[in-house]
Amino acid sequence: MHFMWFFCIFLEWNLIHPEKRKMKRLILRISTLTFLILCAVSSCTGTKKIVDFSDKEKLAFEKQEGDTVKIASDSTAYEIIIIDPGFNLWLASVARPEGYYSQSYLENRNQILVTNWNQRAMQPLQYGANLYEMQIDYSRNIDYGYEVNYKLYNYFVYFQRKYNQRLGPWLPRI
């Protein structure tokens, strides 16, 4: 019964004030159109940030000879072997020097990067089996030492830049 009473009052108000109803429709149309225009303009002005490569970095990316970098820690018996042409040259000539990052910074970044790497390694059809060949066993509870974290982090930066990948929410930069 109350519903019917409310409905009659609503109908009566619309019949009495048709100019207000027209004004509301006009305001709604203008605000919808304004919103759509703002969305279109903001999507058009956003551009992807292009990563610039130095000559040294380009040289490392173009290197065809295989070189091997062994990342190991004697205290944890943990070892990663990277066979990616150019990484050793890139690490020596382009990467930030050891000591630039703190160990906690490297550990936090590596945790995110390893997680994303492993997710992609488990989906070879979507992300390419040639890029993400195997998972990386990395635990937050193990202290791998500075050198392991430094080289692993820098490999992720090298990998992302060389193969145009994004493993984290930030652009891989040096």
pLDDT 10s digits, 112-148: 999 999 999 999 999 888 899 889 999 989 988 898 9
67 and 27, same structural domain? Answer: no
What is residue 10's predicted lDDT score, i.e. its pLDDT? 53
Neighbours of 132 (CB within 10 A): 22
- Contact status, residue 87 vs residue 158, Cβ threshold 8 Å: yes
Cβ-count burial of 111 within 10 angstroms (0-12 exposed, 13-18 middle, 19+ buried)?
middle
149 and 89, same structural domain? Answer: yes
Number of residues that this document lists for the chain: 174
Residue 170 lies in a domain: no
Provide the domain count of the chain: 2
- Contact status, residue 76 vs residue 143, Cβ threshold 8 Å: yes
| 124 vs 122: CA distance, rounded Å | 6
pLDDT confidence tier of residue 48, bands split at 50, 70 and 90: very low
| 7 vs 58: CA distance, rounded Å | 72
Residue 29 lies in a domain: yes
131 and 59, same structural domain? Answer: yes
Q: Which domain holds residue 38?
A: 2-45
69 and 144, same structural domain? Answer: yes
88 and 142, same structural domain? Answer: yes
pTM above 0.95, yes or no: no
What is residue 155's predicted lDDT score, i.e. its pLDDT? 93
| Rg from Cα positions in the chain | 28
Nearest to 150 by CA among 109, 84, 98: 98
Average pLDDT, the chain: 78
* Cβ contacts of 168 within 8 Å, gap of 6 or more: 109, 112, 113, 116
Residue 168 lies in a domain: no
Residue 98 lies in a domain: yes
H or E element, residue 23 = helix 18-45
CA 48 to chain centre: 13
